[in-house]
Structure 1
């Protein structure tokens, strides 16, 4: 079944937006959104287990830079309330905020979602979840890293991947695992089965 949306000429849409006086950066953002695949398919859903915070940040920053909206989450001050471009800034900020919310697991979304938030404020709340309380988080991750058993995993590949994810998460809380220790943990787990 074909829909009218499937037959839109993107150059026509861009010309109409320009003709009606939409700002260039908003037109660019809209065109990026409608001419590319879903944003959520590019930045994986952050759950802290399958997708680590550091991986999510790297992907999110890459796409924010590509869409030229990095200034909404990098600490750049928001537009002044008296600025003529405030409405435009708020509209783009709402899109970035939707992207942040759309790439969080349900559990994280419940912890981060707030009324009348900016993208920067939501970005900071996500960051705080993963970077505050580093000592306790490092201890819990270290315990899982050290006690993970191959027989508790569905496959050897899953076992190795989980160790790698835990090593990345430990690095995020300033408790980096050396490569030699990672290899020793993996070998030790395999040796227990043999």
Structure 2
């Protein structure tokens, strides 16, 4: 092994599902939760800049040999982060965001666009679904309230907050 080369912490992750236990689905409205969990995971493993570029412009001039090693390490880590993304999304989303040659950042931005580009339409649909959810469609009150909570969570991910008749927010 080359002297002074340390194993990057991201390389030690054997199973991303141990850290991000939910699978992002197109229809479940959990994008914000998934995104937050993913970012939290990336920070201690020092790869957050693979999905959210650093605004730090202080780059030092180095020799071409050092740049080649850095590029190889960057590419390797980027592939690991891309594997994490692909390993935590549904097959349906994978079909949408998987493009040969995509970087982790490009896949991340594509997912963001999938969930945020149609916000207004999703908000209208979810508001309609929330308003038309009826108790008699569920086996008990607990299941009914759980469904209302799920729809309210999805609505909060697209913007508008759901309020009851007396102004209490479902968040």
TM band (smaller chain): 0.7 to 0.9
The reply on whether 1:95 has 2:80 as its aligned counterpart is: yes
Mapped partners of 2:5, 2:127: distance in 1: 50
Q: Which runs of 5+ in 2 are unaligned?
A: none
Divergent runs of 4+, >6 A: none
The answer to whether the Cα contact below 8 Å between 2:51 and 2:105 also exists between their aligned partners in 1 is: yes
The answer to whether the Cα contact below 8 Å between 1:54 and 1:169 also exists between their aligned partners in 2 is: no
Mapped partners of 1:151, 1:107: distance in 2: 32
Instruction: Say if 1:39 and 1:154 are closer, same or farther in 2 by CA, change over 3 A.
Output: farther
**TM-score normalised by structure 2 residue count:** 0.79
Post-superposition offset of 1:146 = 1.2
Mapped partners of 2:83, 2:150: distance in 1: 27
Instruction: Say if 1:122 and 1:22 are closer, same or farther in 2 by CA, change over 3 A.
Output: farther
Cross-structure match for 1:189: none
The reply on whether 1:42 has 2:19 as its aligned counterpart is: yes
Mapped partners of 2:87, 2:4: distance in 1: 25
Instruction: Say if 1:170 and 1:116 are closer, same or farther in 2 by CA, change over 3 A.
Output: same
The reply on whether 1:52 has 2:30 as its aligned counterpart is: yes
Post-superposition offset of 1:160 = 2.3
Q: Give the alignment of 1:19-168 within 5 angstroms.
A: 19-20=1-2, 23-24=5-6, 26-31=7-12, 33-34=13-14, 38-43=15-20, 44-50=22-28, 52-76=30-54, 83-84=67-68, 85-153=70-138, 155-168=140-153
Post-superposition offset of 1:134 = 1.5
Post-superposition offset of 1:182 = 3.9
The answer to whether the Cα contact below 8 Å between 1:45 and 1:51 also exists between their aligned partners in 2 is: no
Mapped partners of 1:156, 1:108: distance in 2: 33
The answer to whether the Cα contact below 8 Å between 2:29 and 2:153 also exists between their aligned partners in 1 is: no
State the superposition RMSD in angstroms. Answer: 2.6
Q: Which runs of 5+ in 1 are unaligned?
A: 1-18, 184-194
Task: Name the stretch that deviates more: 110-119 or 38-47.
Answer: 38-47
Instruction: Say if 1:151 and 1:39 are closer, same or farther in 2 by CA, change over 3 A.
Output: farther
Cross-structure match for 1:12: none
Richer in helix (by share):
1
Number of residue-to-residue matches in the alignment: 157
**TM-score normalised by structure 1 residue count:** 0.70
Relative contact order (C-alpha < 8 Å, sep 6+): which is higher?
Answer: 2
Mapped partners of 2:122, 2:110: distance in 1: 16
